[in-house]
Amino acid sequence: MPEPFRVILFVIFAMAFAGLNAAYLVWCERKGAAHVQRRIGPKEVGPYGLLQPIADGIKLMTKQLFLPKGADPILFMVAPLMVMVPAIMSFCVIPFSETFVAAEINLGLLMIFAFASVNVLGLLLGAWGSANKYAVIAAARTVSQNVAYEIPMLITVITMVMVTNTMNLNEIVRSQAGWFFHWHIFRLDISLLMPVSFLIFFVCSLAETNRAPFDMAEAESELIAGVYTEYPGMGFGVFFMGEYANIVIGAALAVILFLGGWQSPIPFSPEGFLGVFWGLFWFLIKLYALIFIVIWIRWTYPRTQFYQLLNLSWKVLIPISLFNLILTALQIKIFPWL
């Protein structure tokens, strides 16, 4: 297939994947929450409530787009897109399978983090644009939270780049080929603190995507709906989809960096076309397992207090990740044959 068509096709796929994921992750979240809470969850619309997300989408789309008094119309409308669009862009470099990737660029990892930083700007502008005190409080929290958690996250990523010697996501996955103990999370020979790195990365990605127990952007029992307080209809819907797309990106990165990406746990892969699906299958299994843990955490723990959140980052995660960076560097330099 000629290159431009392939990319366009893949962008369409990425958008569809992001949209469907957002819709059906909401369904999974509601069903998962229901099971945690010994309820049934959505069941009326379609079998097992499977059409519920579509009904919700139609409901959100038919709602009036209401501009609150004193709001900044441009910022108010643009902000949801600033959360959604970068997330979709990030899908373009994620290798779903060895050959199933829109653009295998050498700076894939950098690109994802560049786009991920736009997310918080969208939340800040949306809150400011909606001229609501609760929203502004939430936005102030979100910004300082994101700044705090980006640091340990990036330090951990730098550690991984040091280990793999590349920023190409597909190369990172290829370097983990073989049995499951070749995945980075189990490679204690590269860095003794590898599982800790994974944990730091996972916690940071929870905080970056504003998920419980770090959901300061929403904090529904304190700030009504936080940043989203004034958003009606699809404005809120797009924010919501962006949030879920960001969760998928975060989990996908964790899978790629630590859990072997599309590699299967055993060194076996069918040839040709089937191999694409074999990789896709393992990638999605790992991805959704991580997302399930994210949902599970949300429905188990209460929300942290804001200063504890910052303390956790500045006093615990950053020192550990820095120590980890130095330790890994030493281990690579002193025992280069490993």
Closest CA to 193 of 48, 311, 89, 327: 327
Is residue 131 near other proteins by the rule CB under 8 A? Answer: yes
Q: Which pair of tokens denotes residue 96?
A: 């779903």
Q: Which stretch binds other proteins (CB under 8 A): 68-76, 104-112, 279-287, 316-324?
A: 68-76
Neighbours of 260 (CB within 10 A): 27
- Whose Cβ is closer to other proteins: residue 216's or residue 320's? 216
What is 83-145 written as a DSSP string?
HHHHHHHHHTT--SSSS--S---TTHHHHHHHHHHHHHHHHHHHHHHTT-HHHHHHHHHHHHH
DSSP designation for 215: -
When the beta carbons of 83 and 223 are compared against other proteins, the nearer one is: 223
Q: Which is nearer to other proteins, 8 or 74 (CB)?
A: 74
Nearest CA-CA partner of 94 in 226, 265, 250, 314: 250
Please state, in angstroms and rounded to a whole number, the distance separating the CA atoms of residues 328 and 322: 10
Q: Is 97 within 8 Å of 262 (Cβ atoms)?
A: yes
> Is there binding between residue 302 and other proteins (CB under 8 A)?
yes
Contact region for other proteins (CB under 8 A) — 13-21, 51-59, 130-138, 203-211? 130-138
Q: Residue 74, interface with other proteins (CB under 8 A)? A: no
Query: What is the spatial distance between Cα 76 and Cα 127, in angstroms, rounded to a whole number?
Result: 8
Min CB(183)–other proteins separation in Å: 29
Instruction: Decide whether 138 or 193 has the Cβ nearer to other proteins.
Output: 138
Q: How far is the CB of 21 from other proteins (least distance, A)?
A: 23
How many residues bind other proteins (CB under 8 A)? The answer is 36
Q: Is position 99 an interface residue for other proteins (rule: CB under 8 A)? A: no
* Interaction between residue 72 and other proteins (CB under 8 A): yes
Alpha carbons within 13 angstroms on the beta-carbon side of residue 51 total 6
Does the protein bind other proteins through residue 310 (CB under 8 A)? no
Q: Name which of 195, 161, 158, 197 is nearest 317 in CA terms.
A: 197
Q: Which of 133, 165, 181, 289 binds other proteins (CB under 8 A)?
A: 133
- Residue 308 in contact with other proteins, rule: CB under 8 A: yes
Longest dimension (CA), the chain: 65
Distance CA 132, CA 226 (A): 9
How wide is the angle at C-alpha 143 spanned by C-alphas 210 and 248, nearest 5°?
A: 30
Asked if 221 interacts with other proteins (CB under 8 A), we say yes
Binding mask 180-219 for other proteins (x = CB under 8 A): --------------------------------xx-x---x
Among 99, 305, 316, 323, binds other proteins (CB under 8 A): 305
Q: Which lies closer to other proteins via its Cβ, residue 180 or residue 296?
A: 296
Between 99 and 305, CB nearer to other proteins? 305
Q: Six-digit token pair at 14?
A: 């990425």
Which of 8, 16, 37, 107 is close enough to bind other proteins by CB under 8 A? 37
Q: Using the rule CB under 8 A, is 174 a contact of other proteins?
A: no
Helix axes 233-258 and 108-129, enclosed angle (nearest 10)? 150
Q: Is 306 in the site for other proteins (CB under 8 A)?
A: yes
Nearer to other proteins by Cβ, of 62 and 221: the residue is 221
Which of 28, 101, 124, 136 binds other proteins (CB under 8 A)? It is: 136
Q: Residues in the site for other proteins, rule: CB under 8 A?
A: 33, 36-39, 69-72, 128, 131, 133-134, 136-137, 140-141, 212-213, 215, 219-224, 299-308
